[in-house]
Amino acid sequence: MSEHTYRVTEIVGTSHEGTDAAIRNALARASQTLRNVDWFEVVGTRGHVENGVIGHFQVTVKVGFRLEDAGS
Amino acid sequence: MSEHTYRVTEIVGTSHEGTDAAIRNALARASQTLRNVDWFEVVGTRGHVENGVIGHFQVTVKVGFRLEDAGS
Amino acid sequence: MSEHTYRVTEIVGTSHEGTDAAIRNALARASQTLRNVDWFEVVGTRGHVENGVIGHFQVTVKVGFRLEDAGS
Amino acid sequence: MSEHTYRVTEIVGTSHEGTDAAIRNALARASQTLRNVDWFEVVGTRGHVENGVIGHFQVTVKVGFRLEDAGS
Amino acid sequence: MSEHTYRVTEIVGTSHEGTDAAIRNALARASQTLRNVDWFEVVGTRGHVENGVIGHFQVTVKVGFRLEDAGS
Amino acid sequence: MSEHTYRVTEIVGTSHEGTDAAIRNALARASQTLRNVDWFEVVGTRGHVENGVIGHFQVTVKVGFRLEDAGS
Amino acid sequence: MSEHTYRVTEIVGTSHEGTDAAIRNALARASQTLRNVDWFEVVGTRGHVENGVIGHFQVTVKVGFRLEDAGS
Amino acid sequence: MSEHTYRVTEIVGTSHEGTDAAIRNALARASQTLRNVDWFEVVGTRGHVENGVIGHFQVTVKVGFRLEDAGS
Amino acid sequence: MSEHTYRVTEIVGTSHEGTDAAIRNALARASQTLRNVDWFEVVGTRGHVENGVIGHFQVTVKVGFRLEDAGS
Amino acid sequence: MSEHTYRVTEIVGTSHEGTDAAIRNALARASQTLRNVDWFEVVGTRGHVENGVIGHFQVTVKVGFRLEDAGS
Amino acid sequence: MSEHTYRVTEIVGTSHEGTDAAIRNALARASQTLRNVDWFEVVGTRGHVENGVIGHFQVTVKVGFRLEDAGS
Amino acid sequence: MSEHTYRVTEIVGTSHEGTDAAIRNALARASQTLRNVDWFEVVGTRGHVENGVIGHFQVTVKVGFRLEDAGS
């Protein structure tokens, strides 16, 4: 059926390197347990600071994935 | 116990017909796997356009459902 | 005097049919008691679900109406 | 080149019928002058009221379209 | 690996007592099924009124929990 | 008729005790003049400070109540 | 009793002169029918344009006024 | 045809005098190149400061204008 | 001079007890170093969870205080 | 070094005259104690009403100023 | 005349590399057809995922450019 | 005492390189004068464009730091 339904889940990826790496880590982890991941949207960027330097970046992403029909 | 707890999940329903049908499709799909669905809230309306006409409407809805006690 | 003043009130219309009917119901009810209704703005769309289907749509609209001069 | 660029323009479609028709009218008009229209997002729903009934619905949509390379 | 990933889920806790108790109920219920719950954020406070008094408070909280590695 | 219409009014309750008491005060006062109060939503929490301590909490709540049919 | 309750109503003032005059017009009109008006907050500034010049400014203000005790 | 379509464009007007003058400058400039300008909405007010005094006010306005039919 | 100027600073109060205590702690700490604290506004409520129970509530408040004239 | 850093502080200016004067008062006061003030952004407009007329306008502005190097 | 007017247009830049490259691509494309581009503001970051990895980043930027006088 | 209080200040970091470098510059500068910096949150990303290329990125971050007890 071509009228797909999607679910959106919220994931926080972290990285010592930067914001893009945190996004990539979030998506990599999401893809371990979710099939058909289709898009993401960044909804927040935060981070922890330790001794005056950034310990890690924390990027919150909404991740959309296509639901398969429950009956199939 | 009368002090219920609810969970809210985010679903994107789609439809070629219009926004109400997309909402109904989202709820129909959610009810295949979730029990005790109680309310929804529309949080976004988008769509794809192909050759100058709307291919499908995409309505993002938050869906609230009552959690049953984990111990039961 | 041509410098009109308006008041904005918030109404929630409901309908079993869909969002447009809920908006029309809100405006119809507002017009029973308010004169000079001039515009509306949709500020939220929610609904109740019963046994897996939408029981009714609830659309919150801000309704603007022109105030007549208090002294007239 | 596969790294496309898009522009987003804001259009207000109107209709006596309802919100979906207002969206369709906005997209139909946008497609008269824009090529490669790809998606839309509803950002506001308002309307005018005359003599207690809705005169027309006004739906504001952001319309995204792919830019062709300026040099081509 | 020290670059953790978190998931955020949305829970509505309710209480006859007040807002803090509703938050505590939400977290207590979440901890029945989720491991490694780490933080929460209040995103909405509503309630039902019956015969002129508050029947129960409903506090919507986002709950963040650390994901364990899928392969472990 | 089962398709109810509701009106939403905005009330600021105050209390020397705390935020929950301010909410309860707002609802108690609203119920003196409004029938069929059904729900509330907190939309803001502020307060005044006098000599370094909180003089009173001010909680703004939207209060929804069912409209009776104008003709009845 | 020193724990006052306030109500907030939304008014649109208009003026050919400018935004401050539109705010003043909104408050002047509100004070014709409301006692104990205490504060306002600007929540939107719009206007109509006719033949390339601003016909009038429309400023939406939330107006807070102290409620007297219903039993008095 | 009475079902008009409008486009919304975003303009930043500036003025040494104040916010109203900045709005008027934005509209005057928009009317040099756009026909059928119908309304505006203020979406932001900023400014530059030089040597402790305001150099100029910058008011961002959304400007709505009626589209003529592309085929006419 | 009666035209006062205020400054707004953002403080996060924490408490093991609840949200009101966290607000009070924020104001008590602010009053140790700021004179003329006049009002506060809650802008966020979060918290940490340890072993399934709330470790502490964190309430972010904007705190407004009157500036004394710099020349005095 | 040409990669400047700025700090943003929040000031509430007040005036009996109007919103522009309140903005100017905020900036004048900020410049008494801050060097290198560079820009401002209006983030809220409120006011007090006394006996049916506006007692004073209160405009909240974010004020940005360039930080000098701490070591210089 | 020193009282400039600016227009703001919304562009979505994409990149396989990351968010900064997507911003740079948006600006590079905008500068092909717009003169006097002066500033940008990021208003959204999304992306597509294909087979568990990010296909491309999509960053929506508002781009401000100075309008030349229409009569020149 | 384990019930810490934090203050949040807003800093704009800039960089010719990109958004992550601008965040790092903001934190580095904040740590020159603030002790106990604990976290940050990105609240805006803008930049200047010169001759069609990005002159510098400007990232606004809220920086949270733990307050030491005023009496110590």
pLDDT the model gives residue C16: 97
CA distance C7 to C30: 13
pLDDT the model gives residue H69: 74
Residues D16, D49: contact at Cβ < 8 Å? no
Q: Place I1 in a pLDDT band, splitting at 50, 70 and 90.
A: very low
ipTM of the complex in this document: 0.95
Query: Which chain I residue has its CA at the smallest distance from L69's CA?
Result: I29
Query: Which chain A residue has its CA at the smallest distance from L21's CA?
Result: A18
Please name which of J71, J70, J63 lies closest in space to residue J23, comparing C-alpha atoms.
Answer: J63
Tell me if J40 and H52 make a contact (CB, 8 A cut-off).
Answer: no
Query: Which chain B residue has its CA at the smallest distance from A71's CA?
Result: B32
Question: Which residue, chain included where needed, has tokens 């045809």?
Answer: H1
Q: What average pLDDT does this structure show over I26-34? A: 96
Answer yes or no: is pLDDT of D28 > 50: yes
Tell me if G38 and J48 make a contact (CB, 8 A cut-off).
Answer: yes
Best mutation target among G8, G10, G35 (most C Cβ atoms within 10 Å) is G10
CA distance F42 to F58: 11
Q: What average pLDDT does this structure show over L46-67? A: 96
pLDDT the model gives residue C71: 55
Tell me if G5 and F12 make a contact (CB, 8 A cut-off).
Answer: yes
Residues A4, A37: contact at Cβ < 8 Å? no
Over chain C, what is the mean pLDDT?
93
> Mapping DSSP to helix (H, G, I), strand (E, B) and coil, where does residue E51 land?
coil
Binding partners of L (≥3 Cβ pairs within 8 A): A, I, J, K
> Mapping DSSP to helix (H, G, I), strand (E, B) and coil, where does residue D17 land?
coil
Q: List Cα–Cα distances, K23 to A20, J66, K62, in angstroms.
A: 13, 25, 10
> Mapping DSSP to helix (H, G, I), strand (E, B) and coil, where does residue D52 land?
coil
Bridge partners, F49 (sequence order): F54
**pLDDT tens digits, one per residue of C26-39:** 999 999 999 999 99
**pLDDT tens digits, one per residue of E9-67:** 999 999 999 999 999 999 999 999 999 999 999 999 999 999 999 999 999 999 999 99
Please count the residue pairs, one from chain D and one from chain K, whose beta carbons lie less than 8 angstroms apart: 34
pLDDT the model gives residue J69: 74
| Partner-chain residue, chosen from F5, F9, F69, that has the shortest CB–CB distance to C14 | F5
Q: List Cα–Cα distances, D36 to B40, D67, D69, E72, I24, in angstroms.
A: 34, 8, 12, 46, 57
Answer yes or no: is pLDDT of H57 > 50: yes
Q: What average pLDDT does this structure show over J40-47? A: 98
In chain I, beta strands by DSSP E: 5-15, 37-50, 53-66
Residues in chain A within 8 Å Cβ distance of B23: none
- CA dihedral (H52, H56, H62, H63) in degrees, to 10, reads 170
Residues in chain G within 8 Å Cβ distance of F18: none
Best mutation target among L16, L17, L45 (most K Cβ atoms within 10 Å) is L45
**pLDDT tens digits, one per residue of G19-61:** 999 999 999 999 999 999 999 999 999 999 999 999 999 999 9
Best mutation target among K49, K56, K60 (most A Cβ atoms within 10 Å) is K49
Residue C44 has which token pair?
A: 């939220």
CA distance K27 to D4: 13
Judged by 3 or more CB pairs under 8 A, whether C touches H is no
Q: What average pLDDT does this structure show over K8-25? A: 98
Residues F35, F20: contact at Cβ < 8 Å? no
Q: Place G69 in a pLDDT band, splitting at 50, 70 and 90.
A: confident
**pLDDT tens digits, one per residue of D31-40:** 999 999 999 9
Binding partners of D (≥3 Cβ pairs within 8 A): B, C, H, K
CA distance A61 to B10: 13
* Domain with residues H6-66, CATH architecture: 2-Layer Sandwich (3.30)
Best mutation target among G48, G49, G50, G59 (most H Cβ atoms within 10 Å) is G49
Q: What average pLDDT does this structure show over D25-29? A: 97
Task: Output phi, psi for G12, to 5 deg.
Answer: -110, 110
Over chain F, what is the mean pLDDT?
93
- Domain regions of chain L by residue span: 5-67
**pLDDT tens digits, one per residue of K24-55:** 999 999 999 999 999 999 999 999 999 999 99
Instruction: Give every residue of chain A whose pLDDT is below 70, as ranges.
Output: 1-2, 70-72
Q: Chain centroid to CA G46: how far?
A: 14
Residue J57 has which token pair?
A: 């306008």
**Which residues have CB under 8 Å from J11's CB, separation 6+?**
I5, I6, I7, I8, J26, J27, J29, J30, J60, J61, J63
CA distance F43 to C10: 14
Answer yes or no: is pLDDT of F72 > 50: no
pLDDT the model gives residue I69: 74
pLDDT the model gives residue J70: 64
Answer yes or no: is pLDDT of L4 > 50: yes
**Does CATH number 3.30.1660.10 belong to domain K5-67?**
yes
CA distance E47 to B56: 36
Q: Chain centroid to CA D65: how far?
A: 11
> Mapping DSSP to helix (H, G, I), strand (E, B) and coil, where does residue J31 land?
helix
Binding partners of J (≥3 Cβ pairs within 8 A): G, H, I, L
Over chain L, what is the mean pLDDT?
93
Over chain B, what is the mean pLDDT?
93
Q: Which long-range contacts (C-beta less than 8 Å, at least 24 apart) are formed by L24-27?
A: L24/A53, L24/A54, L25/J3, L25/J5, L26/J5, L26/L59, L26/L61, L26/L63, L27/A49, L27/A52, L27/A53, L27/A54, L27/L61, L27/L63
Answer yes or no: is pLDDT of J45 > 80: yes
Kindly state the percentage of chain J with pLDDT values over 90. Answer: 88
CA distance J31 to J27: 6
Answer yes or no: is pLDDT of I72 > 80: no
Q: Place H72 in a pLDDT band, splitting at 50, 70 and 90.
A: very low
| Partner-chain residue, chosen from G3, G9, G69, that has the shortest CB–CB distance to F16 | G3
Question: Which residue, chain included where needed, has tokens 């940008």?
Answer: K40
pLDDT the model gives residue C72: 45
CA distance I18 to A38: 40
Residue B35 has which token pair?
A: 């029990």
Query: Which chain E residue has its CA at the smallest distance from F59's CA?
Result: E45
Q: What average pLDDT does this structure show over I8-32? A: 97
Please name which of J17, J67, J9, J18 lies closest in space to residue J40, comparing C-alpha atoms.
Answer: J9
Please name which of C11, B43, E45, C43 lies closest in space to residue F40, comparing C-alpha atoms.
Answer: E45
Answer yes or no: is pLDDT of F3 > 90: no
| Partner-chain residue, chosen from L19, L24, L41, that has the shortest CB–CB distance to A54 | L24
CA distance C13 to C25: 5
Q: Place C70 in a pLDDT band, splitting at 50, 70 and 90.
A: low
**pLDDT tens digits, one per residue of F12-65:** 999 999 999 999 999 999 999 999 999 999 999 999 999 999 999 999 999 999
Answer yes or no: is pLDDT of D60 > 60: yes
